[in-house]
Copies of this chain bind each other. A is one copy, B any other.
Amino acid sequence: MKKKKSLNEISWEELKRLSLSEKGIYFQSDPLHTLIAQQFSRQQIEQLCTLATKIRQIAKQRAGANFLKTLLTDKRAMLYFAQPSSRTYLSFNSACQLLGLSTMDVRDTKTSSEVKGESPEDTLRTFSSYTDLIIMRHPEGGFCERVAWMLSHTNRAIPVLNAGSGADQHPTQALLDIYTLERSFENHGGIDGKNIVFVGDLKRGRTVRSLAWMLTLYQDVTLYFIAPDSLQIEPDVLRLLDEANVAYEKKSTLDSILPQADAIYMTRIQDEWDAEHENTTSSMKNFCLNKTNVEQLKSTAIIMHPLPRREEISTEIDNDPRAMYWRQMRNGMWIRAALILTTFQREAEVESYYTNNKHPLS
């Protein structure tokens, strides 16, 4: 493994050739940017989760919420969403508002000067003039990395936060999933040693891939991948798990695994990537949760879903106390607030407020 170098000491061609793990090393040494799930160490993840919980508890009281709103009033962020996404956009926007961070939107990139023949790098460098942070969603894989690399070679290198790029990376989705697991198992020994079951379309969902990687940072977890053969998890993920000595099992039926599960991570069919989705949909009927099979779950188990869902989770179980998917959304807001605050290195102010004030129980 290479010695750590900073992002502005590497050429773009060299960076492009690196594996995800190798990139992780570069981005970890330059904590300015959040680009890929692989850049986080377990220690960093745990610090973010602890910070998210403190922010959440402080926000419950009016005085606390008003304190949080003073933390980033001197900064401004741009939400550059070249790809439509209401929920990720709203979650980030909410996180910014909680911290008093002003935001500006660029959502329809057709209104930008890209139409006047400007290069994407010029557009982003111009936009970066007006702001202190770019939160970016883009349809092109690797675009966020390119912008972060480009800005790191200018004299105004502001942080870039990847809010989803291409089919591959959505690191804050992985963080919010881990935070939901951490929070749910807080009084049950944490994530170590748990059985995590992934169900549905595991081939194409980027959330499963990133979360599986992040789970290699924990001890004695076992992963179960439940999917029809045509939608099973890809070999590269399994290779990664092998290298990290993580136990896993592939199965094609859900029911037998339910009694052992600590967390069930349901996913939606990504038929926007699929040419023959009608067939896929019919085959998915065996990979759904409903009032009957949910009875087999432990009372401490949790049900997750990145949302939006279709039929894979019946609405009958929406108010089951084990259904975490709505809370998962809100967890995304808290962990993103923690990440943004850490990007600006202001987390100590929350620690200090937390120590000096009483908080409602979570």
> A residues bordering B, Cβ < 8 Å?
59, 62, 65-66, 69, 73-76, 78, 84-87, 90-91, 93-94, 97-98, 102, 104, 106-107, 110-113, 116-118, 122-123, 125-127, 129-131, 153-156, 268, 272, 307-310, 318-319, 326, 329-330, 333
**Chain B residues positioned under 8 Å from A329 (CB to CB):** 126, 129-130
**Chain B residues positioned under 8 Å from A156 (CB to CB):** 326
Instruction: Report which of B78, B123, B155, B333 forms a contact with A308, defined as CB distance below 8 A.
Output: B123
Contact between B74 and A62, CB atoms less than 8 A apart: yes
**Chain B residues positioned under 8 Å from A310 (CB to CB):** 117-118
**Chain B residues positioned under 8 Å from A130 (CB to CB):** 90-91, 93-94, 329-330, 333
Contact between B129 and A333, CB atoms less than 8 A apart: yes
CB of A277, distance to nearest CB on chain B (Å):
10
CA distance A69 to B66 in the complex (A): 12
**Chain B residues positioned under 8 Å from A268 (CB to CB):** 116
**Chain B residues positioned under 8 Å from A309 (CB to CB):** 118, 122
CB of A240, distance to nearest CB on chain B (Å):
28
**Chain B residues positioned under 8 Å from A90 (CB to CB):** 78, 104, 106, 127, 130-131
CA distance A247 to B224 in the complex (A): 73
CA distance A153 to B319 in the complex (A): 9
**Chain B residues positioned under 8 Å from A118 (CB to CB):** 307-310
- Given A74-B66, A97-B76, CB of A84 within 8 Å of CB of B111: yes
**Chain B residues positioned under 8 Å from A112 (CB to CB):** 84, 86-87
Interface pairs A-B: 9 shortest CB-CB: A65-B74, A118-B308, A84-B111, A86-B112, A113-B308, A129-B329, A94-B130, A97-B102, A129-B330
Given contacts A97-B102, A116-B268, A126-B307, 19 further A-B contacts (CB under 8 A): A65-B74, A65-B75, A66-B73, A69-B74, A76-B97, A84-B110, A86-B106, A86-B113, A87-B112, A90-B104, A94-B104, A94-B131, A117-B310, A118-B310, A122-B308, A129-B326, A129-B329, A129-B330, A130-B329
Instruction: List 23 interface pairs A-B (beta carbons < 8 Å), by A numbering.
Output: A69-B73, A85-B111, A86-B106, A86-B112, A86-B113, A87-B112, A87-B113, A87-B126, A90-B106, A90-B130, A93-B104, A94-B104, A107-B111, A113-B308, A116-B268, A118-B307, A118-B309, A122-B307, A123-B308, A126-B308, A129-B326, A129-B329, A155-B319
CB of A71, distance to nearest CB on chain B (Å):
10
Contact between B116 and A154, CB atoms less than 8 A apart: no
Contact between B97 and A127, CB atoms less than 8 A apart: no
CB of A338, distance to nearest CB on chain B (Å):
16
Contact between A65 and B73, CB atoms less than 8 A apart: yes
Among residues of B, the one whose C-beta sits closest to the C-beta of A97 is B102
CB of A334, distance to nearest CB on chain B (Å):
11
CA distance A78 to B333 in the complex (A): 15
**Chain B residues positioned under 8 Å from A98 (CB to CB):** 76
CA distance A84 to B116 in the complex (A): 12
**Chain B residues positioned under 8 Å from A125 (CB to CB):** 326
